[in-house]
Structure formats: structure tokens, C-alpha cells
Amino acid sequence: MRWLLALLTCSVCAQTVDLAIVNAHIYTGDPAHPVVSSIAVSGGKIVSVEQPVIKARTTVDARGATIIPGLIDSHTHMQGLGDSLENIDLRGITSEAQAVAIVHDAVKDHKPGEWIRGRAWDQNLFEDKQFPTKEALSKAAPDNPVALTRVDGHALWVNQKALDLADVNGSTPDPPGGKIIRTANGQPAGVLVDRAQGLVSAKIPKPTAEQVERRLARAAKECARLGMTSVHDAGVTPADLDAYRTLIKQNRLPVRVNAMIGGIGPLWEEYKKRGPEIGSFLTVRSIKLYADGALGSRGAALLAPYADDPNNVGLLITDEPTIRQVAIDAVAKGFQVATHAIGDRGNRTVLNAYAAALKGPNDKRFRIEHAQVIAPEDFAKFKEYSIIASMQPTHATSDMAWAGTRLGPERVKGAYAWQTLIKLGVKFASGSDFPVENPNPIWGFYSAIARQDHAGMPAAGWFPDQRLTREEALASWTKGGAYAAFEEKSKGVLAPGMLADFIFLSADIMKIPEAEVWKVHVTKTILNGEIVYSE
């Protein structure tokens, strides 16, 4: 082996590489060389680590900076992020009145009849914890239809103008998988949950191809700034794919995209005929389904009623036979299935549907997105059927203030249970679900290791036995995401032959005090051996 290593070293020394990084503190993720001080890149790939390089077209002295593999967000909504950057941001508001005031200010920038749109309100931050209503919103914008999406994307707050345009009134029935929140006399109160959102959202003008392209470009630029070199876009349309291809041709996509087909429909039928699309910057080999709604809007499907709403067990958006058939088709055609499931009934529905198609251990890499609340007897099914848990650490720290109220003291023990799954040997991939959560993956890393908010609360961490170690957290944002996309042979670690995707950090997240981790930022992002972001 020594002679082989010497031969390889001489080979690297003899060639001129494109890029050499020296004097760095590099966490490779490779057990053979876990921490190194230098890395060499040619042709968009790593050619060596911790070996002397005689010639390099570009040499960067890192001056001791920390470098880690490029981060992979395994659950994103790219157009949603780009769209949110263009519309009203209601994240963190603490009252209905605050949101209404923001909408009132926005009216002056919109012509009468134009839609006013926004995102990220959360009634759990309001003093009364109640859903907002249409009355104040209608007074603030009487001549503009208003549609404000809840932080989780599973409820829509609208004014009377929007309801009128959609012809939604007291006689409108709840659609399957959806719920119209109503007043005591049966009239729409102003909030539409899950599939009921479509009653109004269908009336919002569809974005043009130019708008889709602009939003995706803007989102991709933000991802590069935050240190993401790959994202899994959870539910794309044909327009999204067209825009991605245009951006790639124009060399304007600074992030690699693993795109999930957005549910059953013409695009899924097209891909079943043509087969998976595998590329360096765009891959399409999975389909995204929704089993249920969200916990915050009480749409997550539960096996027993909500602790704080005893007449409600949530909403099952897609039934087990439908998920099972998609799973069977996917296995036959070489596709992966990724299904949103939050409640314990939602998760059980998906696990049972997958089991019928997968039969037992396999390498199909089916995924459950979120996997937030799992019944104790269902954890083992993830391992039994080789199902990946694609989870979002910041969901736990965003929801921890009220999750116990929704679920009760016993059922909450099966929620956001990362270590329970990892100890069973379940493959784990981290993401953010942006724009539901802030897209910053360093915040997600912090949530994973601390299970605290940025003020360090609760003091010991929320269910601290479920925290990840720093090594586990980093792996979930790198190796885990690569594995979840069948890409572990090309990304997720920094080793010879792997893609040259890595980032420079302002501090060492593997060593600094835990409370300081969320403050760390990215100083450079390298994709394919090229700098795509530098502060």
C-alpha cells in the first residue's frame, strides 16, 4: 500500500491542478482522512487531499479557515423561496393586527384588483393562539384579493374579496382532504386548510415562465450564499424544470438540484414512460406525494384526536391505496417515492403503503418527508423496509413551544425523534423545508445538536436525548442528503474522485461553544471547483 500511496502522491505532484486550497482546517467526512489541511481540484473534482501540490492555476491560502463539504438541503421548495423573497414576509409576527397593518401598507403598491400575497404567519405566536379571520383583512384591503399562506404552507388566510372571486360561501362544501374554517353561522371565517386552499389559490394568476425563472435564479443565489451546493426540490412542475434547464444552459444555476415530480399527473405519466433523468446539475428520479397536512394547522392525520381539539383527528390528503399504487409503479420504473407525512396516522399510512411495494429490505430508497410524529410500534418499519427519514431539525425548535399541547405528554415522545431512528440504523437526511423555515442550514445544524432556540431555551434542550452529535448532524446535512438522492458516490464527502463542492465557514462549528454555532456564516461557496459565492 505504501508504494501505491507514493505513486498517487507523485502523480498529483506532477500535474497542474486547477485549484489548491492550503493552510485550512478541512472536515472531509471521509473516515480515512477525517481532517486535513489541503485539497486539490481539477476538472470540477477533488484529485487529492493532504498532499503537496507543485503547480496550481489558482492557490488559496485559507489562513486556518474551517472548510466542510457543501451542505445538502434534502427538502426545499425553491420556487417558494424565490416567491417569498418577492412578497410580504409575515415570519415572526405576534398578532393578527401586525399582519393586517403590513397588508394595509402593501395596498398602496398594488392596483385595485391585484392580488396581495404573503407567507409565514403562525397563529401559535399570537396571544390567543387562534386562527385569524377575514374581517380586519377585508377592511385593510377592500379592493384587493389577499392570500397569505401559513408558515407551514398548509393553511391560507384570505379576505372577503378573495372568497368572492372564488365563489366560496356558506354553502361551499369542504373538499376532500381540506377544511374551510367557519364562523358559528357556517360562513367562511377566512382560513382554508390543506386542500381547501385550492378553492382560492386556483384563482391566483399562474406565474409566467419569466417569473418562474427569476424566482428559481433568486432562490439558487440565496442557497449558494448560505452554503448549499445541492438541494432536493420537493415538488416541481414542468415550468420549474424548463426554467432549471434554461438556467443550466446559461450557467446561472449555482446549486445542484434533485427535483421531485410534484404528485400524480401528466408530468408523472411522462416520466414513467421516459424513465429517470440523471444529470450533474438536474436530476429527476423521484415523485413527491402528500399523505396529510401539518401539525400547526391541525391538519396532520393522527391516530387519536388532538389533545387540544378532541373532535379533530386531522386530514388524510392521499389515501393508502393511491400511495401504494404509486409506490408499485415507481419500483417498476426505477423511481423513488418521497411522501410528506407528519401525523402518526399519516406516517403509518405511508409505511403500510410502502411495505406493500417494497416487501422487505431493499435499495429503492423510498423516503418519508418530515416523519414528525411516529407511533412507538412504527419506528421499526423504517428499518424493516429501508425507508429514509428525511427530517427538518428546525421544525422541532419552531414547534416545541406548542407541539406538546397538540399531542399530549405521551404522544409527543414519538415526535421529532431523531436519535430513536438513528439508533435503529435508519438512514437520516436533514433539510429545512424552506420557505416554511429559514433556509440557513447552519441554523438547522444548530437545532439538530442543541434542540434549543437562539436564546438557548429550554436550558437543557427539548427532549435532549434526541439531540444529534455534531458528527451526526454534519453527516445528515452532507452524506445523508447524498445517500437520499443516490449520489453518495459523487458528493457528501471530500475525497479524491468526488465533486469539488465545499464551503468556507467563519468559525469551526465542530468545536466552538454550542451557543455560538447558529451565528456562524459562510464566507465562500465552491461548486464544481469554482467560487459561486464569496462575502
Q: How many domains does the chain have?
A: 2
**319 and 370 inside one domain:** yes
Flag whether pLDDT at 141 surpasses 70.
yes
Report if residue 13 sits inside a domain.
no
**168 and 247 inside one domain:** no
**% of residues, the chain, pLDDT over 90:** 93
Per-residue pLDDT, 52: 82
How would you list the strands of the sheet with 155-158, edge to edge?
88-89, 116-121, 146-150, 155-158, 188-194, 178-182
| Closest C-alpha among 393, 339, 494 to residue 27 | 494
**244 and 272 inside one domain:** yes
**150 and 291 inside one domain:** no
Which of 156, 171, 201 terminates a domain? The answer is: 201
The three-class DSSP label of residue 83 is helix
Distance CA 233, CA 492 (A): 17
Per-residue pLDDT, 15: 80
Which carries the bigger pLDDT value, residue 368 or residue 85?
368
- The one-letter amino acid code at 50 reads E
**142 and 223 inside one domain:** no
Flag whether pLDDT at 90 surpasses 90.
yes
Q: pLDDT tens, 496-513?
A: 999 999 999 999 999 999
**183 and 245 inside one domain:** no
Count of beta carbons in the 10 Å neighbourhood of residue 147: 22
| Closest C-alpha among 340, 70, 290 to residue 177 | 290
Which domain covers residue 430, as residue numbers?
72-77+208-489
Report if residue 144 sits inside a domain.
yes
Residue with cell 503547480: 55
**329 and 279 inside one domain:** yes
> Residues 51, 208: contact at Cβ < 8 Å?
no
- Rounded to 10°, the helix 344-358/320-333 angle is 40
DSSP E strands, 291-385: 336-341, 367-370
For residue 222, what is the DSSP state?
A: H
Output the nine-digit C-alpha cell for 352. Answer: 403500510
Distance CA 231, CA 490 (A): 15
Flag whether pLDDT at 466 surpasses 50.
yes
The string over 443-468, giving b where at least 16 C-beta atoms fall within 10 Å of a residue's C-beta and e elsewhere, is bbbbbbbbbbbeeeeeeebbbeebbb
First-to-last CA distance in the chain?
A: 42
**163 and 260 inside one domain:** no
- Dihedral (Cα; 212, 264, 257, 492), 10-degree rounding: 160
Count of beta carbons in the 10 Å neighbourhood of residue 244: 25
Distance CA 138, CA 93 (A): 19
Distance CA 462, CA 449 (A): 11
**254 and 378 inside one domain:** yes
Residue with cell 459562510: 522
Flag whether pLDDT at 4 surpasses 50.
no
Report if residue 425 sits inside a domain.
yes
Report if residue 340 sits inside a domain.
yes
Flag whether pLDDT at 423 surpasses 50.
yes
Q: Which of 123-127, 262-266, 379-383 has the lowest mean pLDDT?
A: 123-127
| Predicted TM-score (pTM) of this structure | 0.89
Per-residue pLDDT, 113: 93
Flag whether pLDDT at 60 surpasses 50.
yes
Flag whether pLDDT at 5 surpasses 50.
no
* Residue 29 region by backbone torsions, left for phi larger than 0, else alpha for psi between -120 and 50, else beta: left
Residue 462 phi, psi (nearest 5) = -80, 115
Average pLDDT score over residue span 208-223: 96
> Residues 365, 327: contact at Cβ < 8 Å?
no
Q: pLDDT tens, 371-407?
A: 999 999 999 999 999 999 999 999 999 999 999 999 9
Report if residue 531 sits inside a domain.
no
**253 and 336 inside one domain:** yes
Flag whether pLDDT at 10 surpasses 90.
no
Confidence of residue 13 (pLDDT cuts 50, 70, 90): low
**155 and 217 inside one domain:** no
Which of 147, 179, 201 terminates a domain? The answer is: 201
**% of residues, the chain, pLDDT over 70:** 97
Average pLDDT score over residue span 184-205: 95
Distance CA 386, CA 404 (A): 29
* Sign of the alpha-carbon torsion through 410, 413, 416, 417: negative
Report if residue 44 sits inside a domain.
no
Report if residue 520 sits inside a domain.
no
Which of 144, 169, 201 terminates a domain? The answer is: 201
- Cα angle: 273, vertex 288, 70; to 5 degrees: 105
Per-residue pLDDT, 152: 87
**175 and 300 inside one domain:** no
| Closest C-alpha among 55, 51, 70, 52 to residue 19 | 55
For residue 182, the domain's CATH number is: 3.10.310.70
Flag whether pLDDT at 326 surpasses 60.
yes
> Residues 167, 144: contact at Cβ < 8 Å?
no
Q: How many Å is the maximal CA-CA distance in the chain? A: 84
Flag whether pLDDT at 6 surpasses 60.
no
How would you list the strands of the sheet with 522-527, edge to edge?
35-36, 25-27, 66-69, 502-505, 522-527, 530-534
C-alpha distances (whole Å) from 11 to each of 4, 469, 497 are 11, 37, 14
Report if residue 311 sits inside a domain.
yes
